[in-house]
Structure 1
Amino acid sequence: MKEIRKKYYIAFGQNLQKLMDKYDKDVMTVASIGKIEPKGVYRVLNGEHGASLGTIISLAKGLEIEPKELFDFEFDLEIE
């Protein structure tokens, strides 16, 4: 279970990066608008840990999107 969780964190971070590129936002902008520490954004981007509900809301606010967009990515539930 630990492996699949880590894999999910990485996929979530990759999707966050894709959204940041799509909406032309950098870490500092997302952090500032979302009122979150830049360190927290970097940790999610790097797949270091899962984002809490509060962090998800802050990231969505920082990107100026609906939170559901952060979860709109393909994820394989199979463990390799």
Structure 2
Amino acid sequence: MTLTPEKIEFLKSFGKRIETLRNKKNLSLRQLSQNCDIDYSDISKIEKGLRNIQMSTVLELARGLEVTAKELFDFDIEIHQIIK
């Protein structure tokens, strides 16, 4: 799958949301990693928008942050339409 600029922007926005929720709960990357089945280095990559994750990973992150999956996607993103 090719990552278009819009997809990259979405991944970065999603990652910022994860980081914001983690910081609100005063969790380090390692603590969040211990709360879910995801390596802390992978969480770091997700937060930076460098990892395109599966839906099962979304579920793990929600579980680790003690939020609903819906809350993980509660962010705004500005996607520009490319006119050809």
Normalised by the length of structure 2, the TM-score is: 0.85
Cα displacement (A) at 1:68: 0.9
4+ aligned runs moved over 3 Å, structure 1: none
* Contiguous gaps of at least 5 residues in structure 2: none
Residue 6 of structure 2 corresponds to residue 4 of structure 1: yes
- Secondary structure in structure 2 of the residue aligned to 1:31: helix
- Secondary structure in structure 2 of the residue aligned to 1:65: coil
1:34 match: 36
Over aligned residues, Cα RMSD in angstroms?
1.6
The count of aligned residue pairs is 80
* Contiguous gaps of at least 5 residues in structure 1: none
Map 1:1-80 to 2 at 5 A. 2-78=4-80
Identical-pair percentage: 22
- In 1, distance between residues paired with 2:9 and 2:70? 19
**Greater C-alpha radius of gyration:** 2
Cα displacement (A) at 1:67: 1.0
Could you tell me whether the CA contact under 8 Å between 1:3 and 1:79 is conserved in 2? Answer: no
Could you tell me whether the CA contact under 8 Å between 1:12 and 1:47 is conserved in 2? Answer: yes
